Amino acid sequence: MSERRPAQFRHLGPVLYPAGLFMQKAMADLVRSGEPDQILVVEHDPVYTLGRHASPEDIHVDAAFLKAAGIRVHRIDRGGQVTYHGPGQIVVYPVCDLRGGRRDVGRFVRNLEEAMIRTAGDFGVTATRLSGCPGIWVGDRKLGALGLHLRRWISTHGLAFNVSPDLRPFGWITPCGMRDKGVCSLHSLLGDDCPTWDQAADRLSFHLAETMALDPLAVPAPSLSVSATTWRRTLTGPEVLVMLRQPVEGLWWSSVTGMVDPGESLAEAAIREVREETGLEGRLLPLDYAHSFYIDPRVLEIRAGKPHFNRETCFHMEVSPGAVVDLNLAEHSAYRWCSLEEAEDLVLWDGAKEAIRRLGRLLSGQ
């Protein structure tokens, strides 16, 4: 048996797709510098991704339909054509150094497929390879997909394993360019006996370590932050408060965000941040959404080194229409009340945009 290579498995849970692309690039730079392989285990928001060989015609619905369905489209640098990612699907990005004696892409692909096959088997599903069709299959239905990118023998992108995603979006595309085959999931095959996302992710990580001869290393827990999208009712509809960071803070528009202090609950941290940043009070409610992201050291002006991940939990707070904003000038230089659409366009970070979109769906009753 070949020598096991150290690797850090990071179970990050929900990650917005652009944040996933960014963290892959950052981890590729880290691995290229000699750090251990990084295995990122995530769950994405609904997106279609178009690989290098994809055509817009592979998506069979128009932009209005996609907007109503909450599906975004990203063209990316992996191989292959169009596929779907969404909640209930495990996406694994094995950012690995294939230099030296590991320069065998075919073996790398087979190892990823084998890990998915073994994971399916753990839950009583027999999956196989299909000649000429990457991924794993149950009959003529794909259970797990593959799409890789190599740059100077550092791998990015990876695999998608269907636990319990909504399968309808696969029907609105030509998945992976295949018109005569279908898609399945553990849930479509097992019904109520389907494992949870976490259970399947744990088994998939175990099998990846075995098939790829990886030695999992300890990883630090992510830091914790909160966001509190603060809004008010008006005669023309809801308005969201956005604030402009001071130039030394980056000069970008944001909603209320902040780190969780030791001993605080997430809700306590959100209420404190609203009070400290705006002077406002209101009723705090959860948006039932949390997501993880990689923190670029350049943004926070911290020393580059070990990768730093953060998990942000999102809330919203309705305040009185006549409430007066008492802006914290140490952090922000200006503020605006905006429509949901204007606020989404103004804020810089994808997490803030997603929180505003979720607030909009909540207020519209969707």
Distance CA 13, CA 87 (A): 10
Q: Residue 176: pLDDT band by 50, 70, 90 thresholds?
A: low
Phi, psi of 7 (to 5 degrees): -150, 150
Lowest-confidence pick of 30-34, 208-212, 278-282: 30-34
Residue 1 has pLDDT above 50, yes or no: no
Distance CA 307, CA 294 (A): 7
Letter for the amino acid at 263?
Answer: G
Would you state the pLDDT for residue 181? Answer: 79
Mean pLDDT of 218-239: 96
Lowest-confidence pick of 44-58, 97-111, 179-193: 44-58
Residue 304 has pLDDT above 60, yes or no: no
Lowest-confidence pick of 35-39, 98-102, 260-264: 98-102
Distance CA 71, CA 73 (A): 7
Residue 45 has pLDDT above 50, yes or no: yes
Mean pLDDT of 115-123: 98
Contact 178, 145 (CB under 8 A): no
Residue 306 has pLDDT above 70, yes or no: yes
DSSP 126-173: --EEETTEEEEEETTEEEEEEEEEEETTEEEEEEEEESS--SGGGGGB
DSSP 177-204: G-SS-EE--HHHHHGGGPPPHHHHHHHH
Q: What mean pLDDT is reported for the chain?
A: 91
What is the CATH superfamily name and number for domain 223-364?
Nucleoside Triphosphate Pyrophosphohydrolase (3.90.79.10)
Number of other residues whose CB lies within 10 A of the CB of residue 362: 13
Residue 88 has pLDDT above 80, yes or no: yes
Residue 175 has pLDDT above 50, yes or no: yes
Distance CA 318, CA 295 (A): 29
pTM equals: 0.91
CATH code 3.40.190.10 for 5-217: no
> Domain spans of the chain?
5-217, 223-364
Write out pLDDT tens, residues 232-270.
999 999 999 999 998 887 789 999 999 999 999 999 999
Lowest-confidence pick of 26-40, 65-79, 258-272: 65-79
Mean pLDDT of 14-35: 94
Residue 5 has pLDDT above 70, yes or no: yes
Active site residues: 176
Mean pLDDT of 80-104: 90
Number of other residues whose CB lies within 10 A of the CB of residue 232: 18
Phi, psi of 47 (to 5 degrees): -145, 150
Both tokens of 96, joined, read 């690995």
Lowest-confidence pick of 40-44, 134-138, 283-287, 293-297: 293-297
Would you state the pLDDT for residue 307? Answer: 84
Letter for the amino acid at 219?
Answer: V
Residue 366 has pLDDT above 70, yes or no: no
Q: Residue 299: pLDDT band by 50, 70, 90 thresholds?
A: low
Q: Which residues contact 171 (CB under 8 A, 6 or more apart)?
A: none
Contact 155, 148 (CB under 8 A): yes
Percent of the chain at pLDDT above 70?
A: 94
Owner of token pair 């209101």: 282
Distance CA 126, CA 184 (A): 13
Would you state the pLDDT for residue 282? Answer: 96
Distance CA 141, CA 290 (A): 32
Would you state the pLDDT for residue 303? Answer: 52
